[in-house]
Amino acid sequence: MTLKLNKLITKSINLVFFTGAGISTDSGIPDFRGPKGVWKTSTPIYFQEFISSKEKRMESWEKKFSNELSIDHAAPNKGHINIAEIMKKKDKSHLITQNVDNLHQNSGVQEEQITELHGNATYASCLDCNKRYELEDLKQNFLKSHEPPSCVECNGIIKTATVSFGQAMPKKEMQLSQKKAIQSDLFICVGTSLTVFPAADLPVLAKETGAKFIIINNESTALDHLADLVINRDISEVLSEIKL
């Protein structure tokens, strides 16, 4: 199977990787929907709750600064590094990710090659004026004041730069992802259950517009029946076997 995958990647011009939480579990970051996933052990705070309730904002920041998702000290694993190495050799390649951990960037993928559908948890921003805030500064102020942070520029609500439950998907990123899916000749899904929509529509769009559709995941997914190739093995091992 990896021989076929190797040939498809070698031949591809407009390669797109589409990654989910499964690629980051080897970095110590739990997935969201598995048996031990975050949503099985912790109730998510919805966007409207965060906006309307100071108590919910306090709860959200307390979770964040307790490093609930184990993101703060996580490092890229072999899967991230292998994707970065492949993309360096495929200059028209692009990566769409549902992850918020910044590990693809840390592995060497350039910012202009990445579209983050669910934002980024390694910094925060004001919901009103979009001013960026670094988390360490917010943490120190939070520990001193015991108040949820507000913007120094406009007094707006500050939130981690992620898309929460109940929050609209970013329009610009969705449009770019759809464009990249349509342009792709090979669309490879890595470490995603393909159950979260509208993101899971992207591989279907790629397939319908002529791309080969590949799934690399430890378990079966909701879209296996549409794929040209499904590989249910360790992600890092599969990607390490690609030789360009």
For the stretch 143-178, pLDDT in tens is 999 999 999 999 999 999 999 999 999 999 999 999
Q: Which two tokens stand for residue 155?
A: 């007094």
32 pLDDT more than 70? no
Question: Closest by alpha carbon to 32, among 139, 165, 125, 122?
Answer: 165
pLDDT at 29: 87
* Three-state SS at 81: helix
pLDDT at 40: 47
Which of 40-54, 99-113, 210-224, 227-241 has the lowest average pLDDT?
40-54
Structure confidence at residue 70 as a pLDDT band (50, 70, 90): low
Above pLDDT 90, what percent of the chain? 85
pLDDT at 41: 52
Can you tell me the distance from the alpha carbon of 144 to that of 185, in angstroms, rounded to the nearest whole number?
52
Can you tell me the distance from the alpha carbon of 154 to that of 130, in angstroms, rounded to the nearest whole number?
10
Above pLDDT 70, what percent of the chain? 93
Can you tell me the distance from the alpha carbon of 163 to that of 120, in angstroms, rounded to the nearest whole number?
8
Which residues sit opposite 132 in a β-bridge?
A: 125
31 pLDDT more than 90? no
Cα distances (Å, whole numbers) of residue 28 to 31, 76, 83, 138, 182: 9, 10, 18, 24, 33
pTM reported for the whole predicted model: 0.92
The mean pLDDT of 8-21, rounded to a whole number, is 97
Positions marked active-site: 118
pLDDT at 62: 92
